[in-house]
Structure 1
Amino acid sequence: MATPSSPFSLLGDLFNRIGERLQPPAWAIHEIQHRVVLFLNHVLQQEPEAQQRLLRQQGRVVRFQWRFVTMELVATPAGLLDLAPEGSTPELTLTVTDDSPFDIARATLRGDKPSVQIVGDVQLAAEVNWLVDHVRWDVEDDLARVIGDVPAHTLGNGVRRVVGALRQFVGDRTARAGGAAGHAE
């Protein structure tokens, strides 16, 4: 007897099929990657310790992979990031093993990191892990530059309440699912 699929698994399957068939042109991928690097460097510039750590990793290449998306970054002499030159050999490859974007979003809402397969230099992996754990984008500060301190703070508080409610919702559903599985044994 076939088990019914959840709407999330159906959406995940649709995402897989679309992603496999609709590959953006190389120029679009390259442009998106440049925008990601600009954003990452903006965030890194707000954290001097992160820049010092990257400075020590200067010239080292890290490849990030998730499904059909790959990006190779290199640490620069300025303690920032850049796209690695074509044909570079990565010293570290980080592959997100969760296929479903919904599983990744659910884990993120719970405050967990997605599952990652790590291949390569352990010390470089530890530095990347430190960056992931300690560097945060101060959205409220950037927004305050555009709309002012008070509206940015008010908007930030509203977003934090929504995220908190979503985390509680996801946590409650996970706890109920775990409890139901425990009773089924």
Structure 2
Amino acid sequence: MATQSPFSLLADTLGKLAENLKAPAWLVDEVQHRLVLFLNHVLMQEPEAQARLARQQGRVVRLQWRDFSMQMAATPAGLCELAPAATPDLLLTVTDASPLDLARSALRGDRPGVRIEGDVEFAAEVNWLVDHVRWDAEEDLSRLVGDAPAHALAGFGRGAAQALRAFVSKLPGQGR
């Protein structure tokens, strides 16, 4: 008799649970607004990213994963804004349907599989942003608690993340 891994059982259970749960519209709207605020915060720390995004002003990207979707447009200032009613120029669809598999690949530092449809030039700019723009959490933390504590907390966070990646890479069914 073949035994099933507890992790695959957990993935199946979470998948079935996620299929039956729908977030309330107000929560989805609030999360989208907070995500745009966060993205703009990160973009404002990268002048090159803002300049590249400003050249794409008015273009709309639609991000899709399962039933969740979000549309954002590039502003003249090189930032993002929600554009729910606009026609998208670029559609990015995450192909992996399992939340657990997405989390596992994120913990390994891998990108999820994405199907890209639409404007090739805009897709190249979005890819550049994904490759080159990073949130400097340590810098933001240092504004709150000072440089030395922020450096210590960031070092602890990096160590914890590295240990978690090592653990995930040793789980059954992992190719690493």
TM-score w.r.t. the length of structure 1 is: 0.86
Question: What is the match of residue 112 of structure 1?
Answer: 110
Alignment check: 8 A CA contact 1:64 1:93 kept: yes
Task: Tell me the CA shift for residue 27 of structure 1.
Answer: 2.2
Letter in 2 for 1:163: A
Q: Does 1:130 align with 2:105?
A: no
Q: Which moves more between the two structures, 9-18 or 58-67?
A: 9-18
Task: Tell me the CA shift for residue 4 of structure 1.
Answer: 3.9
Question: What is the match of residue 52 of structure 2?
Answer: 53
Task: Tell me the CA shift for residue 123 of structure 1.
Answer: 1.2
Q: Distance in 2 between matches of 1:152 and 1:44?
A: 21
Q: Which moves more between the two structures, 100-109 or 66-75?
A: 100-109
Letter in 2 for 1:10: L
Q: What are the Cα deviations for residues 40-80 of structure 1, in whole angstroms up to 9, with x where unaligned?
A: 10011111111011001100000001112100000011100
> CA RMSD of the aligned region, Å?
2.1
Q: Distance in 2 between matches of 1:59 and 1:149?
A: 39
Over 3 Å counting, the alpha-carbon distance change for 1:14 and 1:59 in structure 2 is same
Q: Does 1:10 align with 2:9?
A: yes
Q: Distance in 2 between matches of 1:177 and 1:74?
A: 37
Q: What are the Cα deviations for residues 90-124 of structure 1, in whole angstroms up to 9, with x where unaligned?
A: 11110111112222222222222111111111111
Q: Distance in 2 between matches of 1:61 and 1:107?
A: 27
Alignment check: 8 A CA contact 1:20 1:68 kept: no
Task: Tell me the CA shift for residue 159 of structure 1.
Answer: 0.9
The runs of 4+ residues in structure 1 deviating greater than 6 Å are: none
> Of 161, 166, 176, which aligns to 1:168?
166
Runs of 5+ in structure 2 lacking a partner?
Answer: none
Q: Does 1:35 align with 2:17?
A: no
Give the number of equivalent residue pairs: 176
Over 3 Å counting, the alpha-carbon distance change for 1:4 and 1:91 in structure 2 is farther
Residue 103 of structure 1 aligns to a residue whose secondary structure is: helix
Q: What are the Cα deviations for residues 110-153 of structure 1, in whole angstroms up to 9, with x where unaligned?
A: 22211111111111111111111111111111111111111110
Q: Distance in 2 between matches of 1:67 and 1:5?
A: 26
Runs of 5+ in structure 1 lacking a partner?
Answer: 180-185
Question: What is the match of residue 90 of structure 1?
Answer: 88
Residue 72 of structure 1 aligns to a residue whose secondary structure is: strand
